[in-house]
Structure 1
Amino acid sequence: MASRSGRHFLQIPGPTNVPDRVLRAMDMPTMDHRGPEFGVLGREILANLKPVFATSGPVIVYPGSGTGAWEAAIVNTLSPGDKVLMVETGHFATLWHKMALRFGLKPEFVPGDWRHGVDPDVIETKLAEDKAHEIKAVMVVHNETSTGVTSRIPLVRKAIDNANHPALLLVDTISSLASIRYEHEAWGVDVTVSGSQKGLMLPPGLGFNAISEKAIAASKTNKMPRSYWDWEEILAANKTGYWPYTPATNLLYGLNEALKMLLEEGMDNVFARHDRHAEATRRAVRAWGLDILCQNPAEYSSSLTAILMPQGHDADALRRIILDAFDMSLGAGLGKVAGKVFRIGHLGDFNDLTLMGTLSGVEMGLSMAGVPHQTGGTTAAMAYLAEQKTAAKTAAAA
Structure 2
Amino acid sequence: MIPGPTPIPQSILKAIARQPIKHRSDEFTSIMQEIYTNLKYIFQTKNDVFIFASSGTGAMCGALENILNPKDRILCLVTGKFGERWAEIAKLRGAEVDILSCNFGEVITPKMLQDHLSLHKPYKAITLTHSETSTGVANDLQSLCAIIKKTESLCIVDGISSICAMPCKMDEWGIDILISGSQKGLMLPSGLSFLALSAKAYEIHKKCLFPSFYFNFSLHKEALKKNTTPFTPSINLIFGLLESLRIIKNIGLENLYHKHKKHTFALRDAIRAMGLELFVKDDAHASYATTSIIPPNGIKAQDIIKHLQENYNIIIASGQQELEEKIFRIGTLGYIHNEDLIQTITALEQTLQSLGYKFENKIGTQTLLEKLKMP
TM-score (norm: length of structure 2): 0.97
- Residue 160 of structure 1 is matched in structure 2 by 148
**Closer, same or farther: CA 207–184 of 1 in aligned 2, 3 Å:** same
CA deviation vs aligned residue, 1:117-164 (integer Å, no higher than 9, x gap): 222112112222334x2x111101100001110001111122224xx4
- Residue 9 of structure 2 is matched in structure 1 by 19
Structure 2: unaligned runs, 5 residues or longer: none
> 1:127 touches 1:165 (CA, 8 Å); kept in 2?
no
- Residue 135 of structure 2 is matched in structure 1 by 147
- Residue 307 of structure 2 is matched in structure 1 by 321
Match for residue 89 of structure 1 among 64, 79, 86: 79
Query: Displacement of 1:372 after TM fit?
Result: 4.4
> 1:127 touches 1:160 (CA, 8 Å); kept in 2?
no
Where in structure 1 do 4 or more consecutive aligned residues deviate above 3 Å? Answer: 371-375
Q: How does 1:228-307 map to 2 (within 5 A)?
A: 228-307=214-293
CA deviation vs aligned residue, 1:21-47 (integer Å, no higher than 9, x gap): 100011111011001111000111000
- Residue 358 of structure 1 is matched in structure 2 by 344
Look up the equivalent residue of 2:373 and give its one-letter code.
A
Match for residue 355 of structure 2 among 355, 369, 375: 369
Q: Secondary structure at the match of 1:87?
A: strand
Q: Secondary structure at the match of 1:110?
A: strand
Query: Displacement of 1:221 after TM fit?
Result: 0.7
Q: Secondary structure at the match of 1:77?
A: coil
CA deviation vs aligned residue, 1:169-206 (integer Å, no higher than 9, x gap): 00001111111111111110000011000100000000
> 2:101 touches 2:108 (CA, 8 Å); kept in 1?
no
- Residue 138 of structure 1 is matched in structure 2 by 126
Query: Displacement of 1:222 after TM fit?
Result: 1.8
- Residue 119 of structure 1 is matched in structure 2 by 109
- Residue 100 of structure 1 is matched in structure 2 by 90
Q: Secondary structure at the match of 2:228?
A: coil
Q: Secondary structure at the match of 2:171?
A: coil
Q: Secondary structure at the match of 1:232?
A: helix
Percent identity among equivalent residues?
A: 33
Q: How does 1:307-346 map to 2 (within 5 A)?
A: 307-346=293-332
Structure 1: unaligned runs, 5 residues or longer: 1-10, 389-398
User: After alignment, is 200-209 or 217-226 more displaced?
Assistant: 217-226
Query: Displacement of 1:336 after TM fit?
Result: 2.3
**Is 1:55 the counterpart of 2:45 in the alignment?**
yes
**Is 1:36 the counterpart of 2:26 in the alignment?**
yes
CA deviation vs aligned residue, 1:313-351 (integer Å, no higher than 9, x gap): 210111011111011110111122111111000110111
Q: Work out the CA distance in 1 between the residues paired with 2:233 and 2:178.
A: 20
> 2:68 touches 2:93 (CA, 8 Å); kept in 1?
no
> 1:310 touches 1:372 (CA, 8 Å); kept in 2?
no
**Closer, same or farther: CA 383–219 of 1 in aligned 2, 3 Å:** same
Q: Work out the CA distance in 2 between the residues paired with 1:295 and 1:82.
A: 36
Q: Work out the CA distance in 1 between the residues paired with 2:200 and 2:56.
A: 22
Q: Work out the CA distance in 1 between the residues paired with 2:354 and 2:247.
A: 38
Q: Work out the CA distance in 1 between the residues paired with 2:101 and 2:212.
A: 30
Query: Displacement of 1:76 after TM fit?
Result: 1.3
Q: Work out the CA distance in 1 between the residues paired with 2:102 and 2:120.
A: 21
Match for residue 73 of structure 1 among 60, 63, 84: 63
CA deviation vs aligned residue, 1:215-272 (integer Å, no higher than 9, x gap): 1111101223310010111111111211111111100000010000000001100100
